[in-house]
Amino acid sequence: MERIVILTGAGVSAESGLGTFRDKGGLWSQYDLEDVATPQGYARDPELVLGFYNARRQNCRAAEPNAAHAALARLQRARAGVTLVTQNIDDLHERGGASEVLHMHGELMQALCAACGHRWGWSGDMGLGDACPACGAAGTVRPDVVWFGEMPYLMDEIFARLAAATLFVSIGTSGAVYPAAGFVDEAAAQGAETLEINLEPSEGSRLFERQILGPATETVPAWVDALLAGGGGA
């Protein structure tokens, strides 16, 4: 049986109105990442960090899944053995119909209690006075996202699926951030075919056997159509 592992990054959601890390004038470019995306930044100024993620959450709520999200969900419905891993913290894959998504960097629409580790859904703004529903602690509620310096989630499960993959596809990622940047090497070492789908070649593009370049809303549906029509894994 063909086993496909698909890694998605910011480029999949960009056409839904969610900026990538490198967008000029985008939300990320207005902040120092050390201030808003590290445990140290949160300790220094939790109000700034919560406000930053409140803005991202509002942006996410206003966005809609695009044709790339829908196509990947269609592939999951049509084929067994399709694993969808994302570096994105938005919920557009789920709203686009995906049946299972491994969020290695956490989820914007979830909260995490720094005191007891409890996780729960969160869709509105987050403030300093919010309390954990499990332990009752106040001032310990933070977005359930992986900050720089923290360990990504679900890595054992992701590497197990990479080890069994027959095809690894990277869609809309920069290829610059580890451990995700090393997934192509891991899959290739196990004999999987490798394909990059991106707007332009990533930093790790030379590691892939094949590339498809162009906007995700065009390239991803076309690739899924070809795959389901029997056009080959890569």
d(C-alpha 33, C-alpha 146), whole Å: 13
Cα separations in angstroms, 191 against 116, 171, 185, 187: 41, 20, 10, 7
Catalytic residues: 105
Is 198:172 a contact under the CB 8 Å cutoff?
yes
Please state whether beta strands 102-103 and 82-86 pair in parallel, antiparallel, or not at all (unpaired): parallel
Residue 95, Cβ density class (10 Å: 0-12 exposed, 13-18 middle, ≥19 buried): middle
Cα separations in angstroms, 144 against 69, 152, 164: 22, 11, 29
Extract the tokens encoding 52: 């930053």
82: left (phi over 0), alpha (psi -120 to 50) or beta: beta
Phi, psi of 65 (to 5 degrees): -55, 145
